[in-house]
Amino acid sequence: MSIKDMKIEVSLSELVEVLAQKKEEDLLAYLVGEKVLIRDNRAGVFVTTLDAVNGKQWSGLESRKIHYWEGAGAVEGIAETGIDFHNSRITVQTEQSNGQDLVQICVVSDDIYDQIMGAPVWNPK
């Protein structure tokens, strides 16, 4: 059988899904090592240094979770202008954080990163 006579059976939706996944991985790979703000659909909002990303799975180093915030309307606002630390809830810093459902990622400036990392730790009573 020649190659011309061979049939390749794959659905268009399967092909689109594979190509989209590959494109997403390539698109986000350049952010590894950057200071970022991550919104994970299941885990919440984190400020971290991106360690790895694979599709919707991610890993960050030196992370803090923003449990609740005031002073920004959305994740993009946090990344651009920061938050009101006195009325927000930011957890203790962890060496590593991981998530399974990456929804959004924004690069943050060194100033915003340092402000959030230096904010008081929220301790629920």
Is position 1 within any domain? no
**What is the C-alpha R_g of the chain?**
19
Question: Do residues 66 and 78 lie in contact, with contact meaning Cβ atoms separated by under 8 Å?
Answer: yes
Q: SS3 of 13, please?
A: helix
Kind and range of the H or E run holding 53 = strand 44-54
Is position 105 within any domain? yes
Is position 43 within any domain? yes
Q: What is the pLDDT of residue 68?
A: 93
How far apart CA 105 and CA 113 sit, in angstroms, is: 14
Q: Domain of 69? A: 32-125
pLDDT in tens, 33-77: 999 999 999 999 999 999 999 889 999 999 999 999 999 989 899
Q: What is the CATH number of the domain that holds 101?
A: 2.30.30.100
Say whether pTM exceeds 0.85: no
The strand pairing partners of 105, in sequence order, are 38
Structure-token pair, residue 17: 């899904």
Tell me the pLDDT band of 125, cut-offs 50, 70 and 90. confident
Angle subtended at Cα 88 by Cα 83 and Cα 92, rounded to the nearest 5 degrees = 105
Is position 58 within any domain? yes
Is position 71 within any domain? yes
